[in-house]
Amino acid sequence: MPPTGEQNLSTLLATMQPTLDPKTYVFITTTQALHTLPLATLQPVLLAHEVEGTTIVTTQDLAASHGFEGVFPCKRISLTIHSSLEAVGLIAAITDRLKDRRISTNVVSGYFHDHVYVPRERADDAMVVLDGLIGEARAGAAGRM
């Protein structure tokens, strides 16, 4: 069984290493039955089943090549810290700080990492904000030593 990840918020903030994926992603939705979708070639990074339909996140190019018009062209920032699924406050700290800069977010938690989707044109701004948050967390950790 894989390890369960870090839960300490200070440690998570001080040691995360956000990485910006260069691809542009989009969110699409469809009411098609899952077994009829070309998932092998659509290569979704996220599937969410909802009453109204299935949400698919894939690259903008793949969505277009399959005839889907996506919304919310965005970049994915992976936090690159193995956060526990039971960790408290990491996403709140990040989204709160990004909110202060008026950067919208769509967050997905995987088993190992959290991923923040931000508007394509604000991705660099978001990385600056996250770097500042990391710096503050590291300074706070150093002050406690």
Cβ contacts of 76 within 8 Å, gap of 6 or more: 20, 21, 23, 25, 45, 115, 116, 117
The larger pLDDT score, comparing residue 65 to residue 145, is at 65
Residue 3 pLDDT grade (very low, low, confident, very high; cuts 50, 70, 90):
confident
Does residue 1 form part of some domain? no
Could you tell me if residue 3 is inside a domain? no
Q: What pLDDT does 145 receive?
A: 56
For 117-130, how does the pLDDT look when each residue is reduced to its tens digit (9 = 90+)? 999 999 999 999 99
Burial of 96 (0-12, 13-18, 19+ CB in 10 A): exposed
Tell whether 122 is covered by a domain. Answer: yes
- Please report which confidence band the pLDDT of residue 140 belongs to, taking 50, 70 and 90 as the band edges: confident
Question: CATH code at 115?
Answer: 3.30.2130.10
Range of the domain at 96: 9-143
| Nearest-angstrom CA–CA distance, 131 and 14 | 10
CA distance 141 to 145: 7
In a domain, 4, yes or no: no
144 band by pLDDT with thresholds 50, 70 and 90: low
Average pLDDT score over the chain: 94
CA distance 26 to 106: 11
Q: pTM for the full model? A: 0.92
Number of domains in the chain: 1
Over the stretch 17-64, which tens digit does the pLDDT of each residue have? 999 999 999 999 999 998 999 999 999 999 999 999 999 999 999 999
